[in-house]
Amino acid sequence: MEQFDFRRMSIYQIWVRSFCDGNGDGIGDLYGVYDKLDYIASLGVDAIWFSPIYPSPNADFGYDVSDYRDVHPDYGTLEQFQKVLRRAHELGLKVLLDLVINHTSDQHPWFLESRKGPDNPYSDYYFWRDPILKRSGRRLPNNWSSQFAGPAWEYGEERDQYYLHLFSKNQPDLNMDNPRVREEIEGIMRFWLDMGVDGFREDVITYISKREGLPNGLPWLPVINAMHHYKDGPNLLPYLRQFRAVAREYGAVQIGEAPMTGVKRALRYVCGPDRVLDMLIQFQPMMADCFLTEYLHHAFSLRKLKRAFSRWQYGLAGRGWNALYLENHDHPRIVSRYGSSHFWRESATALAASYIFQQGCPFVYQGQEIGMTNIRLHSIEQYLDVASRNLYHMFHKNEPQEKRMQRIHVSSRDSARTPVQWSGAPNAGFTSAPEPWFYVNQNYTKINVAAQEDDPDSVLNFYRAALALRKGSETLLFGDYREYHPHSGTHYLYERTLNGERIAVAISFAHIPLHIRLPEPWRGATKTLLLGNYPDAIPGTLRPYEAQVWKIEST
C-alpha cells in the first residue's frame, strides 16, 4: 500500500498513565484519551504516538511489555483502544504505537518459559550465558553495564545461567538473531496494522542486533561501556528490512529511536525509497545541558543546542527527514532545562519556535504545549523512575544529600511523568479520585490548560499558531534550512527558503534585550511578521526570549 506523506505530520505524544483519568481511579487511561481527542485535534497536530499501552508490570512503565497483543487493564480494553482509534481517524489523526522489541518484561510468557531451561521452544528467545568460572569464583559472562546502571546480567536459578538486560533486570533483551523471534515481531506488527494503526515508534531499535560472541566492553566507562557492541550492530539493517517489508504492505510509518546515533550513521537508515525507517529520534538536541545523559548535568549551552540542530538539518537535507523534538517521556521538561523560570511564558514559546520551523516532523509531548515544568520531590523514595533510583544509589555516594538530590531534580524522567495539568481544580483536573497515581506539580494553579485556552498570548495558543503556520506553508514544510550567527551564545537565527520565498526565524535566549545585525538577505527587505511571542516586533531587536517569524519579501 502506498505510504501517506508523513513529512507533513506533526505528532503529539501521549504517556497515557499521566494524560487523563477517565474512570476515576487515579490513573490515566484510554477513556480519558477519548475525552481529550478533540483537544488534541485542536492543537493542529496530525498524529498521536502512544507510549506503550500494553499489559506491563511497570518496572519501566510500559517499556517492559508482558503481552504485545492487548491493552493494560489500567488503561482500558482492546475495544476501548479501537474506539479511540476510530474517533482519532474521524478527526484526521493518525495513530502510532510504541513497538518495544529490544526487550520484553521478565513476566512475558516467552521469558517465563525461556528461564525454565535450555530445552523448550523459547529457550533461545533471550541471551542466556553460562558464568565464567575462575579460580577466584564465578564471574558474569561479560562486563557489560545496564543503561539503567549496574551489570547487564541477572542470574536465573532454574538454568544456572545469566540473562542479558541492557535496561532494568526486569527487561531481558530479546535474541533477535533467532528467526522465530523476528517472526513473532512481524506477527505483532500485523496484529496492530490489521486493526488500523498507522505506524510505529520503535523503541531503541538500533540496539536489536548484538555483536557476535558478546565481547567485553570498555572497563573504565560506566553505563554505556558496551554500546559499541550492541548499537548499530552487524545485522541491524537486514532485520530492519524484514520489518520494513511488513510496514510497507500497510503503508505504515516507522520512526526509530536511536540513542547516540550521529548523522552519518542515520543516513544508512532514513535515505531514499529503500529506507528502512522514515525518521530517527536522535538524542543530540537533548545534550545541550549535559554530557551523554541528563544525570551528568552542566550549564545550558545555546551553541551546543544550535550545533545539534544544524548538524541534522544540513546533514539530512535532501536525503532524509528529521524527527524534531525537545521533550518526551524520557527527559525532564524543556522549559526547566533550556528556558527560564523568570521568563517562563517567553522561553516556553521561544523554545517552540526554535524547533517547530525546522525541516522535519515536530513532536509535542503531553504538557509541553502548556509549558509544564520539572517537579522537585524531597526524597529519592518519592521518585519512581528506575533510572533515577539506580543512579542515586550507585553514584556520588560521598556527596552531601542535597547535592545528590539536585542531580535527581535536574535529570529525573519523573518530571515528564507528572499528571497533565488540565485545570485549577483539585489534582489539576487530571482525576476525580482523591489521590492521583503520582504527584501533581503544585504549580498547576498557574500552569494549566483551562487557564490558557482563552488567553491569546498563552503558551498553548502559541503552539497552536506555530503548528498551523508550519502546516500551511510549503516553505516551512519543505524549504531549505540555513542558520546565521552560529557562534552566538545569545540568539538563534535561521531561515527556510523555497521557490524564492524566504521565512526568517529570530529567537533570543538572553535575559536582556539584544540588538542584532540582521543577516544580509534579511536586511533592507520588507518584512511581514507571521508569528511572535510579544505584542509587537522590531526586526533586529530581541527582548528576553523573544521569538519572531518573518516573511521576507525579496528586494
From 3, 4, 7, 25, residue interacting with Ca ion (rule: CB under 5 A)? 25
Q: Which stretch binds Ca ion (CB under 5 A): 23-31, 78-86, 128-136, 402-410?
A: 23-31
Cα–Cα dist 140/143, whole Å:
7
203 tagged catalytic: yes
Strand order in the sheet with 480-484: 480-484, 491-498, 501-508, 547-552, 527-532
| Total number of residues that touch Ca ion (CB under 5 A) | 5
Strand partners, 161: 156
90 tagged catalytic: no
Q: Is 216 helix (H, G, I), strand (E, B) or coil?
A: coil
Q: How far is the CB of 25 from Ca ion (least distance, A)?
A: 4
**Cell 508569528 belongs to which residue?**
531
Sign of CA dihedral 328, 71, 428, 422: positive
Cα–Cα dist 165/262, whole Å:
24
DSSP tag of 126 = B
> Residue 23 interacts with Ca ion (CB under 5 A)?
yes
Q: How far is the CB of 22 from Ca ion (least distance, A)?
A: 6
The closest of 340, 283, 325, 358 to 533, measured between CA atoms, is 340
Strand partners, 45: none
Q: How far is the CB of 66 from Ca ion (least distance, A)?
A: 19
Residue nearest to Ca ion (CB): 29
Q: Which stretch binds Ca ion (CB under 5 A): 26-34, 435-443, 462-470, 481-489?
A: 26-34
> Residue 432 interacts with Ca ion (CB under 5 A)?
no
Q: How far is the CB of 437 from Ca ion (least distance, A)?
A: 9
From 21, 173, 257, 385, residue interacting with Ca ion (rule: CB under 5 A)? 21
Q: How far is the CB of 434 from Ca ion (least distance, A)?
A: 13
Q: Which stretch binds Ca ion (CB under 5 A): 24-32, 304-312, 376-384, 415-423?
A: 24-32
Cα–Cα dist 66/110, whole Å:
9
Which is nearer to Ca ion, 20 or 530 (by Cβ)?
20
Residue type (1 letter), 304: K
Which is nearer to Ca ion, 29 or 64 (by Cβ)?
29
Sign of CA dihedral 42, 43, 48, 49: negative
Phi, psi dihedral angles at 67 (to 5 degrees):
-155, 115
Which is nearer to Ca ion, 16 or 149 (by Cβ)?
16
Cα Rg of the chain (Å, integer): 23
> Residue 27 interacts with Ca ion (CB under 5 A)?
yes
Residue tagged active-site, from 64, 74, 203, 278: 203
Q: How far is the CB of 64 from Ca ion (least distance, A)?
A: 20
Residue type (1 letter), 452: Q
> Residue 36 interacts with Ca ion (CB under 5 A)?
no
Which is nearer to Ca ion, 27 or 59 (by Cβ)?
27
DSSP tag of 553 = P
Cα–Cα dist 528/290, whole Å:
37
Q: Which stretch binds Ca ion (CB under 5 A): 22-30, 185-193, 234-242, 406-414?
A: 22-30
CB 99 within 8 A of CB 200: yes
Q: Which three cell numbers stand for residue 4?
A: 501517506
Q: Which stretch binds Ca ion (CB under 5 A): 17-25, 120-128, 337-345, 380-388?
A: 17-25
Q: How far is the CB of 143 from Ca ion (least distance, A)?
A: 43
CB 338 within 8 A of CB 304: no
Cα–Cα dist 241/471, whole Å:
31
Residue tagged active-site, from 60, 173, 202, 257: 257
* Touching Ca ion, residues 505-534 (CB under 5 A): none
Burial 34-47 (b: 16+ CB within 10 A, else e): bebbeebbebbbbb
Which is nearer to Ca ion, 50 or 357 (by Cβ)?
50
Which is nearer to Ca ion, 82 or 461 (by Cβ)?
82
Residue type (1 letter), 464: R
Which is nearer to Ca ion, 35 or 249 (by Cβ)?
35
Phi, psi dihedral angles at 113 (to 5 degrees):
-70, -45
Residue type (1 letter), 194: D
Which is nearer to Ca ion, 26 or 256 (by Cβ)?
26
Q: Which stretch binds Ca ion (CB under 5 A): 19-27, 272-280, 379-387, 471-479?
A: 19-27
Q: Is 193 helix (H, G, I), strand (E, B) or coil?
A: helix
Q: Which stretch binds Ca ion (CB under 5 A): 13-21, 116-124, 257-265, 309-317?
A: 13-21
From 29, 60, 278, 327, residue interacting with Ca ion (rule: CB under 5 A)? 29
- Left, alpha or beta for 500 (phi > 0: left; psi -120 to 50: alpha)? left
Q: Which three cell numbers stand for residue 522?
A: 534579511
Q: How far is the CB of 29 from Ca ion (least distance, A)?
A: 4
Which is nearer to Ca ion, 27 or 440 (by Cβ)?
27
Q: How far is the CB of 291 from Ca ion (least distance, A)?
A: 38
Q: Which residues sit at the interface with Ca ion, rule CB under 5 A?
A: 21, 23, 25, 27, 29
Question: Which residues are identified as catalytic?
Answer: 203, 257
